[in-house]
Amino acid sequence: MDCEILTIGTELVLGYVVNTNAAVMGRTLAAAGIAVRRSTAVSDDVALVQDAVQAALDRTGVVIVSGGLGPTRDDVTRNAVAELLRRPLKRDDAIVEQLRERFRSRGVANMPESNLVQADVPEGATVLPNPLGTAPGLWLEDGERIVVLIPGVPKEMRGLLETEVVPRLKARRGGTGNGERGTVVRSRTLRTTGIGESALADRLGDYEKALGSTVTLAYLPSTAGTELRLTAWNVPESEVDGVLAHAVDAIRPRIEDRVYGEEDQDLAAVVLELLDQRQLKIAVAESCTGGLLGARLAAIPGASRLFKGGVIAYDNEVKLQMLGVSADALAEHGAVSEEVARQMAAGIARALDAGAAIAVTGVAGPDGGSDAKPVGTVWFGVKVGDTVRAFHLVLPGDRTDIQARAAQYALDFLRRMLAGTL
Amino acid sequence: MDCEILTIGTELVLGYVVNTNAAVMGRTLAAAGIAVRRSTAVSDDVALVQDAVQAALDRTGVVIVSGGLGPTRDDVTRNAVAELLRRPLKRDDAIVEQLRERFRSRGVANMPESNLVQADVPEGATVLPNPLGTAPGLWLEDGERIVVLIPGVPKEMRGLLETEVVPRLKARRGGTGNGERGTVVRSRTLRTTGIGESALADRLGDYEKALGSTVTLAYLPSTAGTELRLTAWNVPESEVDGVLAHAVDAIRPRIEDRVYGEEDQDLAAVVLELLDQRQLKIAVAESCTGGLLGARLAAIPGASRLFKGGVIAYDNEVKLQMLGVSADALAEHGAVSEEVARQMAAGIARALDAGAAIAVTGVAGPDGGSDAKPVGTVWFGVKVGDTVRAFHLVLPGDRTDIQARAAQYALDFLRRMLAGTL
């Protein structure tokens, strides 16, 4: 079964409110095996709402509409849809009573009359109870076509979607969701860093070509790296996990050195786990990242067991004084250099008696670049046990991008040294 | 001039990614007086993209399409639109050279061949340069109709929209946007921290009641504080700045002590400016924030002139050794205490010879709380010149919320001490 999502609200179209409702609806419906084909947002305008509902019905036959059911003048959805489907509105006494009771229970004796429109029900509609708010949901059928109206308040939307809308759509589709027709859309994500989108695509090219339409592969780049999302489309619920596992097994070996985790796993958490296995504590020495690398580690619950701390050596004086970097190295090679990165890593490991250490020194910009060391130039020093290694990159993006990428690369260099793949 | 927004991406429709791009596009276009009528998201599917572009052109005549211009197989927008408008694609040698240069400058001699599709230009299209990424924007006209393609990477989308797309749309609309019909929707934002949404509402209650429908006020809470957004609706472009200035002047005096800036201003930048005025350098000593406070300062361009660095004293050993916190204070009061916060601030200021210092020590959770010091308990030590003051809060939220709020409050305590309002 396919459906479309329609979210109503001038604030959404103007971008004053980010449309998280559309995301929640898409995710919830897809996971239940109802494929969302299109997601549309329109302003609080009768003609626009009617046009969008009609178009969705003509294309897909099922449309879930969220928003515009409240008591104020800009809430037009109920009237617009009733008129479009030629279903006169009738005030429902039971809903009126529920509304009055709701206000009474909150200590308001005289409910503002504007609330009564929320008790108006289009002829032939099924009322979907909404215990979390004032406007109930409405389920309308027109032959094979279905229009569902639910409120735009996120909590109410979610509640109605999960308890009323999804079960009805599944029932309508037939079967329990586990039968032949009970197909679902579900994803798995592999997280990579230290390799570009196009380099990944080159490694996976053959595999991608061989993919059918059952599983698709999406590349989602960010400053944390590139996520690879494998999505299984319209697969029976009983088979979907197997299909995804098969797909992951096919691509993971080709990029194994670059995959640090799956789903929402954070690279800092992966590094802490590897350190734990080796019984190593970690310290950091940060120049251009200014504390971001430490913050990445500290964000992980339980980090305090393994993360000792570090020095933010933003000023060169601090590098000399607290990290024991030599004045000669600074004078001869400059703060952004292999030698200084190595000395920073060794210095912080010694100062805090840590078995592992990461140092970062670079040019985050926008100023401070030169021909020899352009903005984005970063040197990393990574110490594990008695080994100190240095790595060099020129990172793209603006100042905050470069800082975010530098922290992520720093963690990944340590990860790969600990894993023995670097 | 009306237009529609079309965002391309299966992950958007499935809700795996929240569609912030659509919000940014809506806001930017509305602020320029270009009314967005509808915002649609469809999957990476040639037929769906073509159908959505065609429908938008039929309805509105102008459609801005974001996403699906990258180098991988799931990027279908360029081909889909070229085919729909019957404009054969031709590889543009100048773009190819820019692509190769971009990779060379990052030390990649052999650009992956998959990138070349980004140099394909539909016949008759104007290429919109994208200095922030690999895929340029494309501007296509078909009689009176306009289709604009821009990348989906948020920063690149924003850059192209502001520098290329909006100026061209304004020019196309004719006039300067100051005519009778040139009404716009525009906002101003006041940024506050250290005061809750309802406390703000109490201070602003009378004013809100007096607001008409021309200007609305929204409260937008986050871990950085509460933003107050004043929006002027459908006001002539020549009047909108005055209308908003009038509204800001009416509310700002009531909350002046809590407003640290306007629009996108970062509290860390405000603090650095105040330090600059006083000719003070700053150092930080961080326990529960783990480097986040330093990272906030380091994120501001030019921070190195005033930010010396600091110590991430995550482990108590580090507090003793590098900050000179006394073993007695730790034993008697614990690491999360007024005394230790004060000693940390004094210690880092002394060690790095800084005129101002901030120290943060707290319980970020999820473990480590007690009846006396529940999760969220944070002590701050703030030193300006010879004065050290300590502040205590219990912050709500999960671990990362608590860390983010603690860094923000720490900066605000220093701001208010520097401004003489605390």
Of A18, A351, A394, the CB nearest to B107: A394
pLDDT in tens, A173-210: 765 444 345 678 888 999 999 888 889 988 998 787 77
Least Cα distance to B115 among A106, A200, A249 occurs for A200
Q: How far is A172 from chain B (nearest CA, A)?
A: 21
Residues of chain B in contact with residue A352, where contact means CB-CB under 8 angstroms, are 315, 317-318, 321
Question: Does position A285 have pLDDT exceeding 60, yes or no?
Answer: yes
Question: Does position A103 have pLDDT exceeding 90, yes or no?
Answer: no
Q: In this structure, are residues B197 and B396 in contact, taking their beta carbons and an 8 Å threshold?
A: no
Of A24, A231, A364, the CB nearest to B10: A231
The ipTM, to two decimals, is 0.80
Asked if B308's CB is within 8 angstroms of A310's CB, the reply is: no
Q: Residue B181: its pLDDT value, please?
A: 58
pLDDT bucket at A172, cuts 50 / 70 / 90 = confident
pLDDT in tens, A240-268: 999 999 999 999 999 999 999 998 899 99
Asked if A288's CB is within 8 angstroms of B14's CB, the reply is: no
Q: What is the mean pLDDT of residues A128-136?
A: 92
Asked if A317's CB is within 8 angstroms of B16's CB, the reply is: no
- Domains, chain A, in order of start with CATH, read 2-173 (3.40.980.10), 183-262 (3.30.70.2860), 269-419 (3.90.950.20)
Q: What is the mean pLDDT of residues A352-363?
A: 98
**pLDDT: which is higher, B207 or B269:** B269
Residues of chain B in contact with residue A308, where contact means CB-CB under 8 angstroms, are 314-315, 317-318
Q: What is the mean pLDDT of residues A337-354?
A: 98
Tokens 């690999």 belong to which residue? B134
Q: Residue B178: its pLDDT value, please?
A: 43
Which one of B48, B213, B314 makes the best mutation probe of the A interface by having the most chain A beta carbons within 10 Å? B314
Type of residue found at A159: G
Least Cα distance to B272 among B241, B303, B293, B294 occurs for B303
A340 vs A379: CA distance, rounded Å: 9
Q: How crowded is residue B302: how many other Cβ atoms within 10 Å of its Cβ?
A: 14
Q: How far is B258 from chain A (nearest CA, A)?
A: 23
Q: Residue B180: its pLDDT value, please?
A: 41
Residue B256, Cα to own-chain centre: how many angstroms? Answer: 23
Minimum CA–CA partner of A31 in chain B:
B14
Which one of A315, A318, A336, A401 makes the best mutation probe of the B interface by having the most chain B beta carbons within 10 Å? A315
CA atoms within 13 A on the CB side of B184: 25
Helix (H, G, I), strand (E, B) or coil at A133: coil
Q: Residue A177: its pLDDT value, please?
A: 42
Q: Residue B109: its pLDDT value, please?
A: 83
Tokens 């926008």 belong to which residue? A366
Question: Does position A345 have pLDDT exceeding 90, yes or no?
Answer: yes
Q: Residue B219: its pLDDT value, please?
A: 80
Which two three-digit tokens encode residue A174?
Answer: 């037939």
The percentage of chain B sitting over the pLDDT mark of 90, rounded to a whole number, equals 74
Residue B330 burial (C-beta neighbours within 10 Å; 0-12, 13-18, 19+):
middle
Residues of chain A in contact with residue B364, where contact means CB-CB under 8 angstroms, are 298
pLDDT in tens, B69-89: 999 888 999 999 999 999 999
The percentage of chain A sitting over the pLDDT mark of 70, rounded to a whole number, equals 98
Q: Residue A180: its pLDDT value, please?
A: 42
pLDDT bucket at B11, cuts 50 / 70 / 90 = confident
Q: Residue B194: its pLDDT value, please?
A: 87
Residues of chain B in contact with residue A217, where contact means CB-CB under 8 angstroms, are 73-74
Residues of chain B in contact with residue A4, where contact means CB-CB under 8 angstroms, are none
Q: What is the mean pLDDT of chain B?
A: 92
Least Cα distance to A377 among B291, B105, B303 occurs for B105
Q: How far is B30 from chain A (nearest CA, A)?
A: 6
Q: Do the strands B259-262 and B2-8 form a parallel or antiparallel pair, or are they unpaired?
A: unpaired
Least confident of A48-57, A98-107, A369-378: A98-107
Which one of B10, B14, B185 makes the best mutation probe of the A interface by having the most chain A beta carbons within 10 Å? B14
Q: What is the mean pLDDT of residues A288-314?
A: 97
Q: Residue B315: its pLDDT value, please?
A: 94
**pLDDT: which is higher, B33 or A323:** A323
Q: In this structure, are residues A38 and A204 in contact, taking their beta carbons and an 8 Å threshold?
A: no
Compute the Cα dihedral for A193, A198, A199, A202 and give only its sign.
positive
Asked if A298's CB is within 8 angstroms of B288's CB, the reply is: yes
Q: In what order do the strands lie in the sheet with A183-192?
A: A215-222, A225-236, A183-192, A259-262
**pLDDT: which is higher, B108 or A165:** A165
pLDDT bucket at B290, cuts 50 / 70 / 90 = very high
The percentage of chain A sitting over the pLDDT mark of 90, rounded to a whole number, equals 74
pLDDT bucket at B176, cuts 50 / 70 / 90 = very low
Residues of chain B in contact with residue A202, where contact means CB-CB under 8 angstroms, are 112-114
Please enumerate in sequence order all residues whose Cβ is within 8 A of that of B245, keeping only pairs 6 or more positions apart, or say none: none
For chains A and B, count residue pairs whose Cβ atoms are closer than 8 Å: 300
Of B18, B114, B292, the CB nearest to A295: B292
pLDDT in tens, B389-418: 999 999 988 999 999 999 999 999 999 999
Question: Does position B292 have pLDDT exceeding 80, yes or no?
Answer: yes
Q: Residue B72: its pLDDT value, please?
A: 84
Q: How crowded is residue A293: how many other Cβ atoms within 10 Å of its Cβ?
A: 30
pLDDT bucket at A102, cuts 50 / 70 / 90 = confident
Residues of chain A in contact with residue B17, where contact means CB-CB under 8 angstroms, are 23, 220
Q: How far is A40 from chain B (nearest CA, A)?
A: 4
Q: Residue A171: its pLDDT value, please?
A: 87
Q: In this structure, are residues B286 and B294 in contact, taking their beta carbons and an 8 Å threshold?
A: yes
Q: In this structure, are residues B266 and A400 in contact, taking their beta carbons and an 8 Å threshold?
A: no
Q: What is the mean pLDDT of residues B272-282?
A: 98
B241 vs B187: CA distance, rounded Å: 9
Of B39, B301, B364, the CB nearest to A13: B39
Question: Does position B260 have pLDDT exceeding 90, yes or no?
Answer: yes
Q: What is the mean pLDDT of chain A?
A: 92
Residues of chain B in contact with residue A289, where contact means CB-CB under 8 angstroms, are 295, 298
Least Cα distance to A152 among A11, A2, A1, A4 occurs for A11
Type of residue found at B141: E
**pLDDT: which is higher, A339 or B177:** A339
Q: Residue A197: its pLDDT value, please?
A: 85
Q: Residue B233: its pLDDT value, please?
A: 83
Asked if B289's CB is within 8 angstroms of A310's CB, the reply is: no
Question: B367: part of which helix (H) or strand (E)?
Answer: none
Q: What is the mean pLDDT of residues B256-281?
A: 96
Residues of chain A in contact with residue B368, where contact means CB-CB under 8 angstroms, are 304
pLDDT in tens, A9-46: 988 998 988 999 999 999 899 878 888 889 999 999 99
pTM for this entry: 0.81
Q: Residue A179: its pLDDT value, please?
A: 39
Asked if B312's CB is within 8 angstroms of A312's CB, the reply is: yes
Question: Does position A164 have pLDDT exceeding 70, yes or no?
Answer: yes
Residue A162 DSSP class: I
A301 vs A50: CA distance, rounded Å: 49
Residues of chain B in contact with residue A38, where contact means CB-CB under 8 angstroms, are 13, 40-43, 48, 52
